[in-house]
């Protein structure tokens, strides 16, 4: 039996270059070997989630008054 999937494409454009570069730097600290080891061990990416949290990206859509970054949806999609 063949399974069919749909792909959602979101056009985020070239805006928010500083966010794009910042996320790129965070991700650079977690190479393929990190992800393969997690997959092999069926482990949660605690260090990666911590890095995203410290950089302020896990609270991207949460308003600032509640401790988030208060980013617009388009910025969070970058």
Angle at 19 between CA 23 and CA 29, to 5 degrees: 15
Per the structure, how many domains does the chain have?
A: 1
What phi, psi does 60 have (nearest 5°)?
-55, -40
Model's pTM, two decimal places? Answer: 0.70
Q: Is residue 37 part of a domain?
A: yes
| Cβ atoms of residues 71 and 60 within 8 Å | yes
Q: Is residue 2 part of a domain?
A: no
- For 69, the domain range is 17-77
Q: Is residue 23 part of a domain?
A: yes
Per-residue pLDDT of the chain (78 residues; tens, 9 = 90+): 567 777 766 665 677 889 889 999 999 999 999 999 999 999 999 999 999 999 988 888 889 999 888 888 888 887
Spatial separation of the C-alpha atoms in residues 20 and 59, rounded to whole Å: 16
């Amino acid at each position: 039996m063949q399974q069919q999937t749909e792909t959602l494409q979101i056009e985020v454009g070239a805006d928010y270059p500083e966010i794009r570069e910042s996320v790129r730097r965070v991700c650079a600290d977690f190479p393929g070997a990190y992800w393969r080891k997690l997959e092999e061990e069926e482990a949660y990416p605690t260090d990666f989630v911590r890095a995203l949290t410290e950089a302020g990206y896990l609270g991207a859509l949460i308003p600032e008054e509640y401790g988030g970054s208060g980013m617009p949806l388009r910025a969070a999609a970058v």
